[in-house]
Structures are given as C-alpha cells and as structure tokens.
Chain A
Amino acid sequence: MNFVLTSLLSAGLPALFAGVLWFLGGRFHRAHLWLSAVAVGGGMMLAYYLALGKPAFPTTDAQEWVFWYALGLIPLGWLMGIAAPYRWIAGWGLVLALPWLFVWLFVPLMRSEHWSLTVGMTWILVFGVGLAAMALGVASAEARLTGWQMAFLLALVGGVSAGMMFYGAKSSSFAQLAGALGLVVGIAVPVGWGMRSFRVGQGAVAMLVVLYGILWAIGFAYGQLQAPYLAVFALCMLAIALGARGASGWRFVVPLLLILLIGGGAVGMSYQTYMSASTGYE
C-alpha cells in the first residue's frame, strides 16, 4: 500500500474511532466520562499500534510505555472525571502518580548510563510534578470553555507537538503519534460544534495533557529535542490554564493566539534549523 496513504490511515482511523465515542458521549451524558476517557486512551493505543505495531509486555523498550500508559490512563481519566468536583483528590492523585510514570520511562536511560542517577531523578521530578500541575491547570480550565473550544485548543497543541517531534526530536513515529492524538481530540471540534452540551471532560483533558507530556518527554530523553523547547509545551499549557480564566470573550482567543505565537514560532524555528542542515534526506 502507498506509504503516504498508510500514514494517513494510521492517524485517521484513531480519529474516526474517537469521533464515534465523542459523539456517543455527547448523546449519552451518563456514560460521557467513561466514553471520553476511552476515546483518548483507545485512540492513542490504536495510533500506536498502527504506527509502531504491537508493543511487548513487559516492555523492553521504554517507548512502549506510551501504549501501556494510554491503557492505564483510561480508568484513571474516568476516575479523575468523577473526582473533578473534589479537586484536591485529583490533584494529590496526579502529583503522587505521575512521577512514577517517569520512573519507568527514564530508568532505562540511567541503566544505559546516558544519564547519571542525579540527572535522571531530577528529570523524573521535573516531568512528574510539572506535568501534574499542567494537567490540573488545564483540566480546571475545561469548565470555562465550550466543548469545541477546548477540543480545538488541545488539537492545536497536537499540531505543535507533531511539528516539534518531527523537526526538533527528529522522530517521525512520535510526530505521527502526536499528530494522531491531535486528530483524536480535533475530531471532537465538529462534534462539539453540533452539540451545545458537548464537553471534553476534565478527566479526558488531563489524559490528553499527560499523553502529550509523555511524548515531549520521550522526544527530549530519547530523541533530539533540546531542553529549552520543553518550555514551549509548558507555556502552551499555561496559556490554556490562565487564558481561560480571563473575560468570557477572550477565554478562547487569548490561548489560541498564544499557542499560535509560541508553538508556531517554536515549530518554525525548528523547521528553519532542520532545513538549514538539510542533506536531502526524506
């Protein structure tokens, strides 16, 4: 089969799968929290399978955790959706759980002596605690935006992530995964546009932030993404979390402009660097 066509299918099928679940979640409000968590986690798992094949368990390759984390996050995302009114439970849950995700992800780099124990532990804490704060901040902004607006902003972050994975981290497969995750949530935009009552859900939003964060972490730790570029992801998340607290007319526009400016600028810079060093390799 054509290479481009198969690549498009590997991103399109997860989006289609998620689209059906977003639609059902919009229709059946009782099952919404569960369906939205499955849309994100299942969409990511499908994207991984189509891009990289079936992962091993127990994993030998740290990157395979992306698949298993997407699976494990489904019940956690659902629970977080339920616990949303009790923010301190969700908050402490994330702060305590997330560093452990990065332990599994980063320990192989300490074993291979790419990182010293101190450096590895530092990054585990930075990513774990930082991502917990971002997931909480963006999830709490969910109630202040309409369903399609939140989906649109998170899809835009997917686009930025895909660009950074490709031009910054130099990983086509992780660019594909980030792009697919963007499409998984992006497909919720027309669903939300058509259904006023549609919401992404705080649990699903937190899942998306964590999954994006894991992709950026892999791009940095295993790929060639430079550490300063990690700030781009943090700023995009901050833009959504803080922007949504502004006046109602600006809640969507401000984060949108900031993501376009910061994320788009970073992708543009990475593209320039990539192309200036181009050797004709495709």
Chain B
Amino acid sequence: MKQEDKEKWITAFRESLEDYSEPPLFNDWERLEKELSVVPVAKPKRSYIMYYSAAAAIILLLIVSATAIYLFDNSSDKYFETSQLPAEIETITDKKPLKDVIEPLINDVKKNDKSALNKSAVKNSVLSGNKLALANGTSSNQPSALSGNKKDVVNTKAGKDAESNNEDETLNKNNASDLQRTDERKAIEEQKLNDNSGEKKNVPQQGENNRSKKQALKTSPKKAEYVTELWELPRKKKQKNLSIGVSAGNTLSYNSEGGGMDYAMSPSYDYLNCMNVEEAIASSLLKSTPVKWNHKQSVSFGLSVRKYLTQRLAIESGVVYTRLESESSGSKSHRQMLDYIGVPVKLNYMLVDKRYFTLYLSGGGMAEKCISGKLNKIELSGKDISEDVSVKPLQWSLNGALGAQYNITPKMGIFAEPGVVYFFNDGSKVETIRKETPFNFNLQLGLRISY
C-alpha cells in the first residue's frame, strides 16, 4: 500500500469524527449554575485576587522587615546606652577619691624613671580630665588633654601621625612641650563650652563612680594589669582597643573603635565605671579619640537571577545594593554612610517549591565594591563637614540564609532572606558594622527571576 493511501484512511477517520457529538450522560447545567453562583469564578476577579495577594505579600514583607530592622536597631541602642557610660565619668567632682587614685601612681613615679614619666603624665591627665579639679585650681596646674571626644580636636590640630604622636606625647607631656600645651588648652576651652549640661546631669552619680573607681583600682587584678600594660606597652594597647593611624587628612572618626565596647559586656556597673577612667587616661595618652559608632543594621536590596541546576538545586547571582549607616553617639554628631554594590554567587536548595511560594536554603559568597562613602560631621562650631570615606579594597563575605519567596509569576518573585553573614576584613580603616561584628545577621529583600 502506498504511503498516501495509508494517510488517507487516517484523514477519513479524522473527518468522520471531527464533528462527532454525543449527548452527555445527563444535563449538567443546573450543577454548573450552582457552582458558578457560589464561586465568583469570573477570570477578571481571579486576577484581581492575584494582584491583591501580591500586594498583601509585599506589604507583609515590608512589615516583617521593618519590624526586624526596628528590633535590631533597638537592641543596638540599648547596647550603646551602656557603652556611653564612659563619657559620664569625665565630670567627677569629689577630690578625695581622686587623690586616692593618684597616690599609687605617684609612688610608682619615684620607683621607675621611664614609667614614672609616663605615669605622671597619666596622673595629670586624670586630674585635668576632671574639669572641676581644673576649675578649682587643685593639685595639677598642667592642662592636659581631656577625655572623650574633645581630644579629637587636640589630635587633629596637632596634625601629626598618630603613631609617633602617641609616643611623643608621653614624653612631651612631662617636658611640657609648648605646642602640646597650647593644643591642650584649646581642647579644654572647647570642652568647657561643650560639657556644661553633661556635668550637671551626672552629679548624682559621681560619688558612686569615685567609690567604685577606687575599689576597682585597689582590688581588681585585671585592672592593675590593664594599667601596667597601658603604660608600658602603649602600642599593644592601641592594637587591642583603640585603633590608631590617623593621618593628617583623615578624621578621628577613623579611630572609631568604640571605646566602651569592650566593657559593655562587663557584668558589673562599678567595674564599668572604673574602666572609664582608664579609658579616659588611655585616650588622653594616645591622643586618639574613640568615636562611638552606633551602627545600624544593614539592609540590602538586590536583583537576583537564579538558574535551576536540578529541580531542587539552583545557582544564583545578581546585583546587591547595600547601605551601611552609622551614627556616632558622642557629643559631636557624626554620620557615616557607605554604599556598596555587590555581586553574589550562591547555591540555593529548595525546601518547598510551589507555584506561589518557595522556601529555600541559600549559601555562598559575595564580593562588594564600595561605590560611595560619606562622613558628615557637625563640628563644635556648628559647621557641617562632609568627607569622602569610600573604601577602595573589595569587601568579601560568606553568607548563609533561609529564604522565602512569593512568586508573582512562575518565573518572577519577591523574596526575603534573613541570614547570617561573615565579613572578611577589607583592610581599610573605615569602621563599619562589618568590622565591629564580622559575624552578623542580615536581611535581604529583592526581586528574583528564575529560569
């Protein structure tokens, strides 16, 4: 049989059945009518439902993320309430306890020449750090750098390399170098202008602060060790707690390793206060002022493309924008904003993959480039200064997250990914939440296209 004939009977078959009609087993209209009346099934309505649910999902996403951010922010605020305590110490009034504090130091001076030089510097710092002491014209006539942010001014004005500055300073203080003194006087003047209000507030606490200071100096071995280390090994101390390396052009906010940070974890309030004195000493010695940054939780926005390797496994890349915002909690107002654009590479494992909802685990790495960095300072004079602090090296990080995605269409969806992230040190001096806590939580929101 020819091929044509073969196909002919098939064509005939189709033609004979093309309009085939057979009455259904029963007329179904009534049931259909009922169902149509119960379910508003008209397609336009359905698509509205889809839009509504998409809108609802977006709103929900925003609420959840806003709440998360709020909670994170709140917790960091509390954290800083504790860490700000050091500043209060500056305004100690009771002289007797101060004397007690100084006495052991004076004794030390007699013993060792070199350390004595340093220590007396410290002593003076402590005394002059106490404003009232200065005001009343007590024991120390030598004006010295004051603790806290005021020293920033000293430091910047001196305009010296921080390292050498610190070393020089210990000696210079005792030699009463003119330059130093001038700077310090300036600092004091500015402090006086600045600190009046803080002083009044802190008065009720002062007695307690001094007592605890005394106690801790005498009893706490940790503290004694700290003091020795501080005087004898200023470099080591620097590395540990205060970051140095401020060049002339840079601002002190670079030294933003929050002075109070390490103590914030300290269980005892008294201990905390003691430490503050030391901190003040250390600060004045090193002439490097810690700006206490209040880092806000970073939130990233991204556009991701996901390619499924298998049904459950997918590789993902894209573009992520991140803003890091920090505010100083000192008396000066600093505000640092860094913008990053990053390219992540991640593997995703789908736990749930439905038409409208996807739940997945995600892990991978990201390279980020800082596209802009700004630091706004409001100086004592009220001048608003803005500086460029963008970071040159790439920021590398590893991350892991649990993601939830609402699929607006089968290929496109919005997602929220709460997760953990580890940031490698980028080698720069710019202080960010990533340096302070390299291992951190983050939340990423975005739009994803899958294929």
| Mutual binders A and B | no
Partner-A contacts on B (CB < 8 A): none
